[in-house]
Amino acid sequence: MSASAEAAGRRANDSDSEVGLWIFLASEVMFFGLLLYGYTITRINHPQAFAEASAQTDVLLGSINCFVIFTSSLTMALAARSLRLGAQQASLRLLGATWALGLLFLAIKCYEYHDDIDKHLVPWGQFAFHGPLAAGERMFFFMYFVMTGAHAIHMTVGLGILAVMLVGVARGTYTQRNSEAVELAALYWALVDTVWIFLYPILYLVHRS
Amino acid sequence: MSTAVAEPAPLEAEGNYLTNGYSLWSWLTTTDHKRIAILYSVTITAFFFMGGAAATLMRLELISPTPLIMGAETYNKLFTAHGVIMVWFFLIPSIPATLGNFLIPMMVGAKDVALPRVNLLSWYVFVLGGCFVIVTLIAGGIDTGWTFYTPYSTRFSQTTVIYGLAGVFVTGFSSIMTGLNFIVTVHRLRAPGLTWFKLPLFVWAIYATSIILVLATPVLAMTLVLLAMERLFHLGIFDATLGGDPVLFQHMFWFYSHPAVYIMVLPAMGVASEVITCFARKPVFGYRTMAYAIAAIAAFGFMVWGHHMFVAGQSLYASLVFSFLSYIVAIPSAIKVFNWTATLYKGSITFEAPMLYALGFVGLFLIGGLTGLYLASLGMDADLSRTYFVVAHFHYVMVGGSVMAYFAGIHFWWPKITGRMYSESWARLGAIVIFVGFNLTFFPQFILGIEGMPRRYFEYAPHFQFLNILSSAGASILAAGYALPLIYLTWSTLHGARAADNPWGARGLEWQTRSPPPVENFDRPPRIPERPYDYDPEAAEQARR
């Protein structure tokens, strides 16, 4: 990769991979943007149903998860920064913390899904709602599962990337002079975090607005 | 090497990217952008003839107003297969993934694309998506049309819609990877001194296309996920009987699929700019306006999707805005056509095969573009959108435009790619046969549309028969026309005369290296010209006398 890049006047401060990753993040924004668009139109058509359905989500677990994922974003940013400054051990610990927090997020989310299934909130099963607003409520939970599901898939991929980073830093593959991979992983993790910032209010807080 | 005699090394002059390994394995594991371009071109050529076969069967059926060789269901499956294959497995990757892959690194003076392994991965993903489509065909095909409109695709179709959706979904990721690669390559790997306004317009066009690929394709991917879930679980988001909105699907779909039209036509415009300047021996007229027009088309292309829903129950005010914006796109498009024409003015024009294809592109794109204005007008569209007028319009843009330009590019860069010349007289004959066959196929469809023949039907009123027979006759000529390049180009790879490094006297960086190029594209750093398209028509004219 780098051999080909040498051919021409490459800029010193960023790399091909970093430019590529930013472009990838732009495409991710469009990916989630479509879901936000579908959610918005459906909610405009069914405001009451969305509010009532949203009341059935577990706002406590959702809020705890906010705390967990935002903290993981902090530890991730610090991990990348520590590595850049040469603090290999600190970076390793922070990466480990990020990984654990990410796993905790997914564990809480799974527990929440389990509750949702118990409460018959899954729109393609025995659905809990039967009132006049059931159609809209069904769509709310459709969007709820698609959006949190897409987010959870991204989290899972992120955990895989973090695992590679952990091993890399532990073995000394990624060091102060070769910290780019960890920084790119941090960028990706920030996207996953940002998506949750959008999902939390529109899925958990509708009935409180 | 140890006992090296002081003999001047032959400057690696013998090896090139084609001789760098002959095994199948060396091709399947290559990260050389030139080889990946060839992998793509072989793949999409296969899909082109599959899609073409479906079209041929349809035209055969339409010779008669009553059923001739198939039932209505088969006809529906054929036009769906034709649409899905031609759009996603030929037109979208056609110029970017083949010519773009081969040329972009060379045109910017680089050894390869920025992310070569991602480039190879994109081809494998593309092939995987293609496998889904082939499975779909074997399992009996889909009958929804390439647009997968709801609620038919979610509630009523009895065919294997999910496999088809999976194929298109997977292929989308190959588009994103290709686009991403080109953006990074153009930003990061330009040779020193090669500033943006020294880049050939082909690079501008592929760059703009890449931005559309990266930003529009994920929208399609997610739309198809929602559609698949809707079909599997009937949750109602696209279903009016369950409180949902079928037009919502159309908005989501066309938010990708209208920009996709520009994915298909912008690279074609890039090719035309290279070929016309070369064979008119003139710098392109209004280089900067041409570059800005490319950017404008890409930007406005994102804002006109609603013109596909004028008759779908969209708000009138939305339709008015979309109609207005659709007219706006005509402006940069017209700038391009005017500038190609002005480039020809007082040029020293010769009519080699690539030029014939490129001129054919300009003329057919002009007709396709102007008839687009009819459809951008609300009143006209209400009448015409159901008819063959639309079919004729977009085939003039997609086939008359993109495919003609693709052939122009393939012929223009063939000596560079293969190191061989093709038979010029056969190539000229091919260009003319394709041009005649194309017009005979699709011009009657404009008239059929104005007379009110509805599209998508396999039976029609008997008084439409004459024009349909003309169209089918044209299709048979067109089919022969497409077979010609397949034959003489294949022949040329084995028996063609050796090509010079720069047989056309063209000015792009890619012509400064050998034909075929060495593995790392340039034996010595290319000379960056003062300005792009540094042609001199008067000197060319004198040289010819």
pLDDT tens for chain B, 545 residues: list them.
Answer: 344 444 444 444 568 999 988 999 999 999 999 999 999 999 999 999 999 999 999 999 999 999 999 999 999 999 999 999 999 999 999 999 999 999 999 999 999 999 999 999 999 999 999 999 999 999 989 999 999 999 999 999 998 999 999 999 999 999 999 999 999 999 999 999 999 999 999 999 999 999 999 999 999 999 999 999 999 998 889 999 888 999 999 999 999 999 999 999 999 999 999 999 999 999 999 999 999 999 999 999 999 999 999 999 889 999 999 999 999 999 999 999 999 999 999 999 999 999 999 999 999 999 999 999 999 999 999 999 999 999 999 999 999 999 999 999 999 999 999 999 999 999 999 999 999 999 999 999 999 999 999 999 999 999 999 999 999 999 999 999 999 999 999 999 999 999 999 999 999 999 999 999 999 999 999 999 888 999 988 888 888 87
Chain A environment of B252 (Cβ under 8 Å): 34, 37-38
Q: What share of chain A is helix, strand, coil (3-state, %, to 5)?
A: 80, 0, 20
The domain total for chain A is: 1
Q: What pLDDT shows up at residue A7?
A: 40
Q: What pLDDT shows up at residue A1?
A: 37
Between A and B, how many CB-CB pairs are < 8 A?
133
Spatial separation of the C-alpha atoms in residues B135 and A205, rounded to whole Å? 44
Tokens of B181: 């690669």
pLDDT in tens, B351-370: 999 999 999 999 999 999 99
Q: Is residue A7 in some structural domain?
A: no
DSSP states of B161-209 as a string?
Answer: HHHHHHHHHHHHHHHHHHHHHHHHHHHH-PPTT--GGGS-HHHHHHHHH
Spatial separation of the C-alpha atoms in residues B74 and B203, rounded to whole Å? 42
Interface check A12 vs B, CB under 8 A: no
ipTM greater than cut 0.95: no
Spatial separation of the C-alpha atoms in residues B371 and B326, rounded to whole Å? 12
Spatial separation of the C-alpha atoms in residues B330 and B327, rounded to whole Å? 5
Spatial separation of the C-alpha atoms in residues A168 and A163, rounded to whole Å? 8
B248:A42 CB<8 A: yes
**Across-strand partners of B420?**
B498
A20:B189 CB<8 A: no
Q: What pLDDT shows up at residue A125?
A: 79
Is the separation of the CB atoms in B136 and B54 below 8 Å? no
Chain A environment of B191 (Cβ under 8 Å): 7-9
Q: What pLDDT shows up at residue B268?
A: 97
Interface mutation target, options B31, B104, B188, B226, chain A, most CBs of A under 10 Å: B188
Q: Is residue A167 in some structural domain?
A: yes
Q: Is residue A5 in some structural domain?
A: no
CA-nearest residue to A21 within chain B is B180
Q: What pLDDT shows up at residue B13?
A: 56
Tokens of B39: 């992998």
Is the separation of the CB atoms in A38 and A143 below 8 Å? yes
Place of tokens 């729109």: A123
Q: Is residue A4 in some structural domain?
A: no
Q: What pLDDT shows up at residue A5?
A: 41
Q: Is residue A83 in some structural domain?
A: yes
Is the separation of the CB atoms in B110 and B521 below 8 Å? yes
Spatial separation of the C-alpha atoms in residues B432 and B441, rounded to whole Å? 14
CATH for A21: 1.20.120.80
Q: What is the extent of the structural domain holding A135?
A: 15-208
A20:B180 CB<8 A: yes
Spatial separation of the C-alpha atoms in residues B159 and A21, rounded to whole Å? 38
From B192, B214, B236, residue closest to A27, measured CB to CB: B214
Place of tokens 């800005």: B292
Average pLDDT, chain A: 91
- pLDDT score of A61 more than 90: yes
pLDDT in tens, A94-148: 999 999 999 999 999 999 999 999 999 988 878 888 888 899 999 999 999 999 9
Spatial separation of the C-alpha atoms in residues A138 and B245, rounded to whole Å? 14
Is the separation of the CB atoms in A34 and B222 below 8 Å? yes
- Long-range CB pairs of A62-65 (<8 Å, 24+ gap) are A62/A112, A62/A200, A62/A203, A62/A204, A63/A200, A63/A204, A64/A108, A65/A105, A65/A108, A65/A109, A65/A196, A65/A200
- pLDDT score of A2 more than 90: no
Q: Is residue A9 in some structural domain?
A: no
Residue ranges of domains in chain B, CATH in brackets:
40-540 (1.20.210.10)
A8:B235 CB<8 A: no
Q: Is residue A170 in some structural domain?
A: yes
**Residue B156 contacts by C-beta under 8 Å, 6 or more apart in sequence?**
none
Is the separation of the CB atoms in A174 and A104 below 8 Å? no
The one-letter amino acid code at B102 reads F
**Residue A48 contacts by C-beta under 8 Å, 6 or more apart in sequence?**
A133, A136
From A30, A32, A38, residue closest to B215, measured CB to CB: A30
Is the separation of the CB atoms in B197 and B291 below 8 Å? yes
Q: What pLDDT shows up at residue A88?
A: 93
Chain B environment of A146 (Cβ under 8 Å): 225-226, 229
Q: What pLDDT shows up at residue B236?
A: 87
Surface-to-core class of residue B289, CB atoms within 10 Å of its CB (0-12 exposed, 13-18 middle, 19+ buried): middle
A1:B115 CB<8 A: yes
A35:B190 CB<8 A: no
**Rounded to the nearest 5°, which phi and psi values hold at B62?**
-80, 0
Spatial separation of the C-alpha atoms in residues B55 and B79, rounded to whole Å? 7
Q: What pLDDT shows up at residue B128?
A: 97
**Across-strand partners of B387?**
B454
Spatial separation of the C-alpha atoms in residues B282 and B275, rounded to whole Å? 11
Spatial separation of the C-alpha atoms in residues A73 and A95, rounded to whole Å? 10
Task: Give SS3 for B540.
Answer: helix
Place of tokens 């090509």: B499
Interface check A135 vs B, CB under 8 A: yes
Q: What is the mean pLDDT of residues A80-90?
A: 94
Spatial separation of the C-alpha atoms in residues A59 and A203, rounded to whole Å? 9
From B111, B184, B235, residue closest to A20, measured CB to CB: B184
CA-nearest residue to A14 within chain B is B188
A30:B219 CB<8 A: yes
Is the separation of the CB atoms in B517 and B106 below 8 Å? yes
Interface check A17 vs B, CB under 8 A: yes
pLDDT in tens, A28-44: 999 999 999 999 999 99
Spatial separation of the C-alpha atoms in residues B211 and B59, rounded to whole Å? 36
Q: Is residue A1 in some structural domain?
A: no
Q: What is the mean pLDDT of residues A182-199?
A: 96
Give B176 to chain A, closest Cα distance, Å.
Answer: 8
